[in-house]
Amino acid sequence: MSQTTEQKFLELLKEQSSYGEAIGLMAWDMRTKAPRKGIEGRSEVIGVMSQKVHEIQTSDEMRQYIDELKKKDLDPILKRAVEEAEETYNKTDKIPTDEYRAYVTLQTKAESMWGEAKSNNDFESFRPYLEELVEYNRKFADYWGYENHRYDALLHNYEPGVTVEVLDEVFPKVRKALSALLQQIKEAPNQPDPSVLKGHFPKDRQAEFSEVILERMGYDFEAGRLDETVHPFAIGLNTNDVRVTTKYDEKDFRTAVFGTIHEGGHALYEQNIDPKLAFTPLADGTSMGIHESQSLFWENFIARSEGFWRNHYELFKNYAPEHFQHLPLEKFYPAVNEVKPSLIRIEADELTYCLHIMVRYELEKALIAGEIEVKDLPELWNQKMNDYLGVTPESDAEGVLQDIHWSGGDFGYFPSYALGYMYAAQMNAKMRDEIDVDRYIEEGDFQKIKEWLTENVHQYGKMKKPLQILNDVTGEGLNPDYIISYLTNKYKKIYQF
Q: Which of 61, 84, 87, 263 is catalytic?
A: 263
Residue 210 CB, nearest approach to Zn ion (Å): 16
CA 79 to each of CA 63, 90, 351: distance values in angstroms, whole numbers, following the listed order = 15, 17, 41
Residue 266 CB, nearest approach to Zn ion (Å): 6
Q: Which residue is nearest to Zn ion (CB)?
A: 295
3-state secondary structure of 245: strand
Say if residues 261 and 216 touch (Cβ distance below 8 Å). no
Say if residues 405 and 134 touch (Cβ distance below 8 Å). no
Interface segment toward Zn ion; rule CB under 5 A; list 7-15, 133-141, 289-297, 456-464: 289-297
450 to 479: interface string for Zn ion, x by CB under 5 A: ------------------------------
Count interface residues toward Zn ion (CB under 5 A): 1
Residue 302 CB, nearest approach to Zn ion (Å): 15
* Residue placing its CB nearer to Zn ion in the complex, 259 or 281: 259
* Interior/surface letters 254-286, b for 16+ CB within 10 angstroms, e for the rest: ebbbbbbbbbbbbbbbbbbbbeebebbbbbbbb
* Residue placing its CB nearer to Zn ion in the complex, 5 or 229: 229
d(CA 296, CA 263): 9
3-state secondary structure of 249: strand
Residue 260 CB, nearest approach to Zn ion (Å): 12
Residue 217 CB, nearest approach to Zn ion (Å): 15
DSSP symbol at 344:
-
Interface segment toward Zn ion; rule CB under 5 A; list 197-205, 270-278, 293-301, 393-401: 293-301
Residue 489 CB, nearest approach to Zn ion (Å): 24
Interface segment toward Zn ion; rule CB under 5 A; list 187-195, 288-296, 372-380, 383-391: 288-296
Residue 388 CB, nearest approach to Zn ion (Å): 22
* Residue placing its CB nearer to Zn ion in the complex, 239 or 295: 295
- What is the β-pairing status of strands 226-228 and 234-238? unpaired
Q: Which residues, 6+ apart, have CB-to-CB distance to 132 below 8 Å?
A: 106, 110
* Residue placing its CB nearer to Zn ion in the complex, 269 or 381: 269
3-state secondary structure of 267: helix
d(CA 289, CA 157): 11
Torsion of CA 124, 130, 131, 134, to 10 degrees: -160
* Residue placing its CB nearer to Zn ion in the complex, 244 or 335: 244
Give bridge partners of residue 246 from the DSSP assignment: 228
Interface with Zn ion (CB under 5 A), residue from 206, 295, 352, 428: 295
* Residue placing its CB nearer to Zn ion in the complex, 241 or 263: 263
Q: Is 263 a catalytic residue?
A: yes
243 to 282: interface string for Zn ion, x by CB under 5 A: ----------------------------------------
Say if residues 289 and 252 touch (Cβ distance below 8 Å). no
3-state secondary structure of 340: coil
* Residue placing its CB nearer to Zn ion in the complex, 295 or 402: 295
* Residue placing its CB nearer to Zn ion in the complex, 245 or 295: 295
DSSP symbol at 3:
P
Neighbours of 40 (CB within 10 A): 8
Residue 419 CB, nearest approach to Zn ion (Å): 12
| Amino acid making up residue 46 | I
Return the sign of the alpha-carbon dihedral for residues 273, 274, 275, 278: negative
Interface segment toward Zn ion; rule CB under 5 A; list 87-95, 200-208, 292-300, 366-374: 292-300
Residue 262 CB, nearest approach to Zn ion (Å): 6
287 touching Zn ion, by CB under 5 A = no
Q: Counting beta carbons within 10 angstroms of the beta carbon of residue 359, is it exposed (0 to 12), middle (13 to 18) or buried (19 or more)?
A: buried
Say if residues 267 and 224 touch (Cβ distance below 8 Å). yes
Distance from first CA to last CA of the chain, Å, rounded? 75
Closest C-alpha to 134, from 107, 95, 105, 116: 107
* Residue placing its CB nearer to Zn ion in the complex, 244 or 282: 244
Q: Please calculate the CA angle 340-346-349 and round it to the nearest 5 degrees.
A: 30
Task: State the residues that interact with Zn ion by CB under 5 A.
Answer: 295
Residues annotated as part of the active site? 263
